[in-house]
Amino acid sequence: MRDFPSCFGENGVQVADSSSNASKTAQNLVTCVYRSRLRGRSCLITVTWSKNLMGQGLSVGIDDSTNQCLCKVDIKPWLFSKRKGFKSLEADSSKVDIYWDLSSAKFGSSPEPLEGFYLAVVFDREMVLLLGDLSKEAYKKTSAAPVPSSAIFIAKREHIFGKRVYGTKAQFCDNGQIHDVTIECDTVGLNDPCLLIRIDTKTVMQVKRLRWKFRGNQTILVDGLPVEVFWDVHNWLFGPALGSAVFMFQTCLSAEKLWGSHTSSDPTIIPWSCSQIFRDSQLQGLGFSLILYAWKNE
């Protein structure tokens, strides 16, 4: 999945390229990935919501099962354009129609809308993906067959911002409960900072002696399912002022199956790349991936 960059290197976690522009890296982005079907074949639909000084932006891309891009559309920030529209694209020798209406959308701090919108992907009059709470309006506009979309939410990548506390909402399984995820870490003037992760105000993970354990992994339970948490806060402690920490939450039906043959003699080294974790887990049907880039506000 080309829009999901690798964030874990072979020798630990590669959070950000030091040569990249920091302001570009820290832009407000949320990328969501859904598994659906085109002509009976599996595909991945990537939806990226963005926000910058020009306004809100949106892109939609469709990849086949081999990660080859079938089509992609970028909808530029809406400062000088309408917040609803329609695009027809060519994919797999057929037409894919993308409709959106965000004219009444409500937003929080995230560029992803909360309510009052729809985003629809239609292939051969079939609703391949439908997001938002205005489903009736979407079906009326698209003239798609009145059959619910079978798309499954499988991965999310998000940039979050804070000084000591970083928060987001996460749905660890498709159509599951939405949880508040809070990451707390105070690194200013402390010789021995501590990392806390809470799910719905309940502390599920605590890492002490963080300067020695700035990279690692631990299994927690959410909704009765094991969730493997990977973290790398190297940039918070030792990196550039504008560097981010990275966290990955990988749900799995079997923690033993998830780790399997991917073990390391050094507990401070995470041996996978994000793309490898994502590919392996989805091929085995192991669940949902959430990647969070946590940026410190100055």
The per-residue pLDDT string of the chain (298 residues; one tens digit each, 9 = 90 and over) reads 333 333 333 333 333 333 333 444 467 899 999 999 887 788 899 999 998 887 888 999 998 877 788 889 888 766 656 788 899 988 767 889 999 999 999 988 889 999 999 999 999 889 999 999 999 999 999 999 888 888 988 889 999 999 899 999 988 876 678 899 999 998 776 777 899 999 998 999 999 999 899 999 999 998 888 899 999 999 988 877 667 899 999 987 544 444 443 433 333 334 344 445 555 545 445 578 899 999 988 6
Tell me whether residue 223 is in a domain: yes
Domain count, the chain: 2
**C-alpha span between 291 and 168 (Å, rounded):** 11
Tell me whether residue 3 is in a domain: no
Domain boundary among 105, 135, 153: 153
Same structural domain, 19 and 60: no
Same structural domain, 52 and 37: yes
Tell me whether residue 2 is in a domain: no
pLDDT at residue 271, as a whole number: 37
Tell me whether residue 51 is in a domain: yes
Longest dimension (CA), the chain: 61
Same structural domain, 226 and 285: yes
**C-alpha span between 169 and 183 (Å, rounded):** 11
pLDDT at residue 241, as a whole number: 67
Same structural domain, 149 and 123: yes
pLDDT at residue 77, as a whole number: 66
**C-alpha span between 118 and 141 (Å, rounded):** 11
Domain boundary among 107, 129, 153: 153
Same structural domain, 166 and 284: yes
In terms of residue numbers, what domain contains 129? 28-153
Same structural domain, 123 and 211: no
pLDDT at residue 130, as a whole number: 96
Same structural domain, 48 and 97: yes
pLDDT at residue 200, as a whole number: 94
pLDDT at residue 79, as a whole number: 60
Same structural domain, 117 and 229: no
Same structural domain, 34 and 117: yes
Same structural domain, 292 and 165: yes
Same structural domain, 113 and 201: no
Same structural domain, 211 and 290: yes
Tell me whether residue 1 is in a domain: no
β-strand pairing of 55-64 with 165-171 = unpaired
pLDDT at residue 78, as a whole number: 67
Domain boundary among 153, 187, 221: 153
pLDDT at residue 4, as a whole number: 36
